[in-house]
């Protein structure tokens, strides 16, 4: 069956089926190869992307903006002060107005409900650039990187070490959809959302994969194909940063942890990194590390997503 994502929104990782994820990844591979060969691909010429930011960003803004330029379109950056979501104007009105101007909307927000409302009221596709619940665009880039390095996704063991946050949620959904064995290692009390864990586990069960959550990073990292981490305190949690440092001791990707994994383990970090906390610098620069390939793949995966979602 042909995959057709035209006109769809991408708010949650599980908005895509397994086949649709593969369509995104294969499109990303093709676009990346064309860029490497210097072949222009202005397939979104004349299209406009409206980018709503409640949180500042390096990778999200530059990858979407550069990506839209490379596709022949135009991206408009809307800073927090430009819109003031829910203050100066309702999310419903913003969605409807932007839909009259733009062909796609990307939103990087605090509340997940904001992205959901944008998708509910907009008449053009809405992309979740990050919310407190999920970070699905990041996980598309992650899976592209793993596929490039290991040649497959199904059956691989993907271990995440750190906070049970939005990245962990999307890893569980993404890994489950692709038949991977996802293991989440967090300090006690920092586990991912229980409903999301149960939902992702149920999906994994239909794809030959699994989802495991525990509190022992060394045990969970045994024979890992992928080791992944994120900051201990995300944006908006700055007040908790000091207390979290004590609670997260031992939840670091370092040489000790790498030795428990497979020799060809792929080391990933969605960045920005706090070296000496969730990952040490030495480990981040090992030949096994693909953190900058992973960052680059935000560009290619999101270009593929925009190409597939945009209405023709």
* Non-local CB neighbours of 263 within 8 Å, separated by 6+ positions: none
Residue 227 class from Cβ within 10 Å (0-12 exposed, 13-18 middle, 19+ buried)? buried
- Collapsing DSSP to helix, strand or coil, 75 comes out as strand
Residue 112 in tokens: 């997940």
Residue 7 in tokens: 């006109």
Q: Tokens 């670091």 appear where?
A: 252
Residue 195 in tokens: 């409903």
In 262-311, where do the E strands start and end?
A: 266-269
- CB 300 within 8 Å of CB 71: no
In the chain, where do the E strands start and end?
A: 48-53, 74-78, 104-108, 126-130, 157-161, 181-185, 210-214, 226-229, 266-269
- CB 204 within 8 Å of CB 182: yes
Single out the residue of 168, 287, 268 nearest to residue 225, CA to CA. 268
Single out the residue of 296, 199, 217 nearest to residue 261, CA to CA. 217
* Residues designated catalytic: 108, 135, 138, 230, 270, 298
- CB 254 within 8 Å of CB 280: yes
Backbone angles phi, psi at 241, to 5 degrees: -55, -45
- CA 135 from chain centre, in angstroms, equals 4
């Amino acid at each position: 069956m042909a995959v057709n994502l035209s006109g769809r929104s991408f708010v949650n990782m599980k908005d895509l089926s397994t086949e649709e994820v593969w369509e995104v990844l294969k499109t990303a591979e093709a676009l990346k190869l064309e860029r490497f060969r210097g072949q222009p691909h202005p397939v979104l010429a004349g299209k406009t992307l409206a980018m709503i930011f409640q949180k500042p960003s390096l990778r999200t803004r530059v990858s979407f903006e550069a990506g839209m330029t490379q596709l022949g379109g135009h991206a408009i950056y809307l800073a927090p002060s430009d819109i003031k979501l829910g203050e100066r104007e309702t999310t419903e009105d913003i969605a409807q107005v932007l839909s009259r101007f733009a062909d796609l909307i990307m939103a990087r927000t605090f509340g997940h409900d904001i992205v959901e409302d944008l998708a509910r009221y907009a008449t053009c596709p809405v992309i979740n650039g990050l919310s407190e619940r999920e970070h699905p665009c990041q996980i598309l880039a992650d899976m592209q990187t793993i596929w490039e390095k290991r040649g497959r996704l199904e059956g691989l063991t993907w271990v995440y070490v750190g906070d049970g946050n939005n990245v962990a949620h999307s890893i569980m959904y993404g890994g489950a959809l692709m038949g991977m064995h996802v293991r989440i290692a967090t300090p006690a009390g920092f586990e991912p959302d229980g409903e999301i864990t149960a939902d992702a586990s149920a999906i994994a069960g239909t794809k030959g994969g699994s989802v495991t959550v525990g509190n022992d990073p060394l045990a969970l990292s045994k024979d890992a194909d992928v080791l992944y981490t994120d900051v201990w305190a995300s944006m908006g949690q700055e007040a908790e940063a000091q207390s979290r440092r004590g609670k997260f001791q031992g939840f670091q990707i370092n040489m000790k942890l790498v030795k428990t994994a497979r020799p060809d383990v792929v080391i990933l970090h969605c960045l920005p990194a706090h070296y000496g906390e969730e990952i040490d610098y030495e480990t981040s620069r090992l030949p096994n590390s693909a953190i900058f390939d992973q960052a680059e793949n935000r560009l290619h995966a999101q270009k593929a997503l925009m190409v597939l979602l945009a209405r023709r």
